[in-house]
Amino acid sequence: MTIELVFIPSPGIGHLRSTVELAKQLVNGDDRLSITVIIIPRSSAGDANDSAQISSLFTPSRDRLRHETISVTEQKTTDRLPTEIYVENQKPQVRETVAKILDPTRPSPPQLAGFVIDMFCIAMMDLADEFKVPTYMAYTSNATFLGILLHLQKMHDEKEYDTSELSESVKELEFPCLTRPYPVECLPYIFNSRRWTPFFLAQARKFRRMKGILVNTVAELEPHALKVLSGDGHLPQVYPVGPVLHLQIESGDSGDDGGKESEILRWLDEQPARSVVFLCFGSFGGFSDEQTREIAVALDRSGHRFLWSLRLASSDVLKDGIGDYTNLEEILPEGFLDRTSDRGKVIGWAPQVAVLAKPAIGGFVTHCGWNSMLESLWFGVPMVTWPLYAEQKVNAFEMVEELGLAVEIRRCIRGDLFEGAMETVTAEDLERAIRRVMEQDSDVRNRVTEMAEKCHVALIDGGSSKAALRKFIQDVVENVGSLNLSFAQSL
């Protein structure tokens, strides 16, 4: 009998890519396993080319890996719903899709083994309970942030402290998943926000009810945090299965034309090895005019070759997203483009994976999204940390102070894009960080090179992540046997 897992990623192509990569690894790891990915389309604000990108992820087709795109239910409102509420509203359609998969009138219907849900699809736990199967989580961030989140939730519920009052009374926190104290001033905005804190604490409580958590990390990258999580008998089984990355180099994402992308990649091919610093800041990483000029001055003074993905800031990035500048000369310092024309390029959207894969890239100034950091490590590129939103301040602290795999602009950059206000980073601070990350034989660069090798080894036979995937499959299969035994005994 085929054992079926239902994967439910968060809406949006970014989360779907990593979900499909994980699903491919699982079905390739055991012939008994079949996976259906239930796709919740983005709201009406989604890109028109989403369907084409979705289809490309499942090409070539696999008998044991399928996808079903549901028809969404949206409330009639001018405001865009928060992701968690939007997902909650889709439960009837997801329930119907799962029921069709299990239709007993179908030839050889599969045995449902569980749901594997995204961290923002917690509402789907209720459906797993209805179908009497366990819920597993695909956690797209790292083990350290997972540990911090669970610890803060426990301390909050035990009335030991309130994160909104920490900065007044406490300067540093001791987290079991870190080997050194964490500065309170560097806590992410989500932990002292009236909007976000209750949501993340509620998430953490439900994380504890999972059967297991698949974490996008590598055992050799976060050994201490994983040891702490695995040693807590009250937490679900943690499986470090990363790096889960979508490394297929594609053109046309975000509407960019292939000709411009090819020009960028050809230019990189003409540059010396490890000579170009790459600046790219994720889906929400737009900057004010003042900050843009400071970056330009830093690049001008550094003397290094550069590729700069420059995006236009929005007053509400969650609602409006970011865009591109229409006239760079109006915003950049006078003469900047002329002075740097022989050693740098300022572009809009960047094909990040394709760029990081180029030997010319010697350093990466990043917003510290976990996926971007894993990509940088995969290609052996040391980073400059510039956290902008969400959990990124934790990611930056871990990479710089815990692991020594990155260079910081400064220990704590105040503000958060989700809050709507960011401290301006000075040209002097950024220039200093760029010069450090571009050093050719630095300790940071050498450590990154070693970690890149460990990340690659983790995914081959005998590697730590490959072993974690096998352990997860084994646990799923054994749990199905236990469910069948319990059902038989109840008859």
What are the tens digits of pLDDT across the range 231-252? 989 999 999 999 999 887 655 4
Give domain status of residue 352, yes or no: yes
Give domain status of residue 62, yes or no: yes
**264 touches 278 (CB < 8 A):** no
How far is it, in rounded angstroms, from Cα 288 to Cα 291? 5
Give domain status of residue 24, yes or no: yes
pLDDT digits (tens, 9 = 90+) for 306-361: 999 998 877 666 666 677 777 899 899 999 999 999 999 999 989 999 999 999 99
> Do both 429 and 360 map to the same domain?
yes
Domain that holds residue 72: 3-147+200-246+461-490
DSSP label at 401?
I
> Do both 211 and 275 map to the same domain?
no
pLDDT score at 487: 47
> Do both 205 and 300 map to the same domain?
no
Give domain status of residue 483, yes or no: yes
Give domain status of residue 422, yes or no: yes
pLDDT score at 284: 84
Q: Which residues lie closer than 8 Å to 392 by C-beta, 6 or more apart?
A: 188, 367, 368, 369
pLDDT digits (tens, 9 = 90+) for 96-146: 999 999 998 888 889 999 999 999 999 999 999 999 999 999 999 999 999
Give domain status of residue 166, yes or no: no
> Do both 235 and 343 map to the same domain?
no
Looking at the chain, the whole-number percentage of residues with pLDDT higher than 90 is 70
> Do both 215 and 285 map to the same domain?
no
> Do both 240 and 267 map to the same domain?
no
CA distances from 443 to 39, 318, 446, 464 (A): 43, 38, 5, 25
Give domain status of residue 181, yes or no: no
> Do both 213 and 356 map to the same domain?
no
Higher pLDDT, 46 or 342: 342
CA distances from 236 to 108, 206, 212, 231 (A): 32, 11, 5, 10
Helix, strand, coil percentages, rounded to 5, for the chain: 45, 15, 40
How far is it, in rounded angstroms, from Cα 47 to Cα 255? 9
CB atoms within 10 A of CB 366: 30
- CATH number of the domain where residue 302 is located: 3.40.50.2000
Check whether 170 has a pLDDT greater than 90: no
Give the largest CA-CA distance in the chain.
Answer: 81
pLDDT score at 105: 86
pLDDT score at 167: 57
> Do both 473 and 434 map to the same domain?
no
> Do both 273 and 141 map to the same domain?
no
> Do both 309 and 359 map to the same domain?
yes
> Do both 444 and 484 map to the same domain?
no
> Do both 223 and 294 map to the same domain?
no
Give Rg (Cα) of the chain: 23
Least confident of 9-18, 221-230, 243-252, 267-276: 243-252
Domain count, the chain: 2
- The reported pTM is 0.92
**434 touches 277 (CB < 8 A):** yes
How far is it, in rounded angstroms, from Cα 294 to Cα 297? 5
CA angle, corner 330, sides to 329 and 334, nearest 5? Answer: 60
Sheet holding 212-215, edge to edge: 65-69, 33-39, 3-8, 111-118, 135-139, 212-215, 237-240
Give domain status of residue 177, yes or no: no
Looking at the chain, the whole-number percentage of residues with pLDDT higher than 70 is 90
CA distances from 359 to 239, 270, 273, 287 (A): 32, 10, 5, 28
